[in-house]
């Protein structure tokens, strides 16, 4: 096996001779990195990580092994942590295990065969955790995508903005150094789910930027709370549900705080508010640049750092081609540029919605039955 394909392991010990010996013992089986203190180990993790496995000596000056591995867990929770300890430190090692900070502990001196066996087991455990995490997230995202596709067919007005909102949120999230970025994208996809309880005529007025009556506004404003109650019932989505609930929350007194200090639900809610309001301003006729500048001047409504992350967002209109087509010519990812209605005038898909596989099948079936008004205009990116 070439060295490029070896699994990386970080050893932290304050004795250089021990580190040199470990490198010689393991160089044919692992790609070994070393550090002579806890602080140096954290630097290596940041610069060269992620690592499947980190092994630390227990007794080190300034930061002992248990403290160091606790910090590793905080920054890279999927990394397997192994503690090397002498006989006199067994009680401390057992305490670390009971607190869930380490995967295994080994006694010094540790035979090479046992060390290799332990490292191999740790690498495999890390792999399983990563695969499980990826599977759960992709399965969850796929399930939510199916749900939003179905709901977009049932209530096209409520979900016509989903693709745009998702792209804005995804653009901001990509620039943030925060865990669980998938949650923010899911929150964007599901942000309008509570609108299934809002009458279509009210939604039409909202998306046309028309003034609502007091009762209509109250009904529309209730949708984030309804969305939160619906999504909170899905396992692992409580944080996403609270993001949806806070999509109208302001930044009064918080805009000057570092983004890193915002709780995930508040951060997600603010990202949704920015994306939704940006979309509304552009729908009212403002250019992307003008809309962003206008929002930048409202610190009580929007976090200035998050608004700044939109500075390099490209206006898709520059690369758009509009074309009138029939349903049989539709492909997924096209953007509907005018309302698609039946021959009886019933709305099927509203303007601004991205074509999904479910929508594609439905429209083509209706077209075959001559139930659609065709052709209609689409945007091809």
67-84 pLDDT, tens digit per residue, is 898 889 888 888 999 988
Which has more confidence, 160 or 33?
A: 33
Residue pair 304/255 in contact (Cβ under 8 Å)? The answer is yes
Residue-level pLDDT at 318: 46
What pLDDT digit, counting tens, does each position of 183-210 carry?
898 899 889 888 888 887 888 788 777 8
Across the chain, how many H-helices and E-strands are there?
A: 16, 10
Q: What percent of the chain has pLDDT over 70?
A: 92
Residue-level pLDDT at 96: 67
CATH topology classification for 3-129: Rossmann fold (3.40.50)
Options 3.40.630, 3.40.190, 3.90.105, 1.20.1070; CATH for 320-381 is 3.90.105
Residue-level pLDDT at 357: 80
Mean pLDDT computed over 13-41: 91
Q: Which helix (H) or strand (E) holds 81?
A: strand 80-85
Residue-level pLDDT at 2: 59
State whether residue 214 is helix, strand or coil: helix
Q: What CATH superfamily is the domain 155-314?
A: Hypothetical protein af1432 (1.10.3210.10)
| CATH 3.90.105 residue window(s) in the chain | 320-381
Q: Which helix (H) or strand (E) holds 184?
A: helix 181-190
């Amino acid at each position: 096996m070439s060295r490029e394909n070896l699994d990386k392991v970080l050893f932290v010990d304050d004795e250089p001779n021990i580190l040199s010996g470990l490198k010689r013992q393991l160089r044919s089986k692992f790609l070994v990195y070393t550090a002579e203190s806890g602080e140096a180990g954290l630097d290596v993790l940041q610069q060269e990580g992620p690592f499947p496995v980190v092994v630390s000596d227990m007794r080190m000056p300034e930061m002992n092994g248990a403290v160091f591995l606790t910090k590793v867990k905080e920054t890279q929770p999927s990394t397997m942590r192994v503690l090397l300890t002498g006989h006199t430190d067994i009680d401390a090692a057992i305490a670390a295990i009971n607190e869930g900070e380490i995967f295994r502990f080994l006694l010094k001196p540790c035979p090479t065969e046992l060390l290799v066996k332990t490292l191999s087991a740790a690498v495999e455990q890390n792999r399983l955790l990563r695969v499980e995490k990826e599977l759960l997230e992709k399965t969850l995202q796929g399930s939510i995508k199916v749900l939003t596709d179905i709901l977009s067919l049932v209530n096209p007005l409520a979900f016509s903005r989903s693709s745009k909102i998702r792209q804005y949120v995804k653009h901001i999230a990509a620039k943030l150094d925060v865990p669980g970025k998938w949650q923010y994208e899911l929150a964007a996809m599901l942000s309008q789910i509570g609108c299934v309880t809002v009458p279509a005529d009210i939604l039409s007025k909202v998306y046309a930027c028309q003034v609502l009556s007091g009762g209509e506004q109250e009904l529309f404003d209730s949708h984030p709370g309804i969305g939160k109650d619906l999504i909170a019932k899905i396992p692992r989505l409580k944080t996403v549900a609270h993001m949806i609930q806070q999509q109208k929350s302001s930044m009064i007194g918080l805009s000057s705080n570092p983004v890193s200090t915002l709780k995930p639900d508040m951060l997600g809610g603010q990202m949704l508010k920015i994306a939704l309001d940006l979309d509304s301003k552009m729908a009212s006729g403002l250019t992307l640049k003008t809309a962003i500048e206008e929002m930048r001047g409202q610190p009580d409504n929007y976090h200035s750092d998050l608004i700044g992350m939109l500075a390099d967002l490209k206006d898709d209109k520059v690369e758009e081609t509009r074309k009138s087509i029939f349903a049989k010519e539709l492909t997924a990812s096209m953007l509907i540029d005018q309302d698609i209605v039946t021959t009886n005038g019933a709305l099927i898909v509203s303007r601004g919605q991205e074509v999904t596989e479910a929508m594609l099948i439905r429209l083509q079936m209706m077209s075959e039955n001559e139930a659609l008004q065709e052709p209609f205009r689409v945007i091809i990116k």
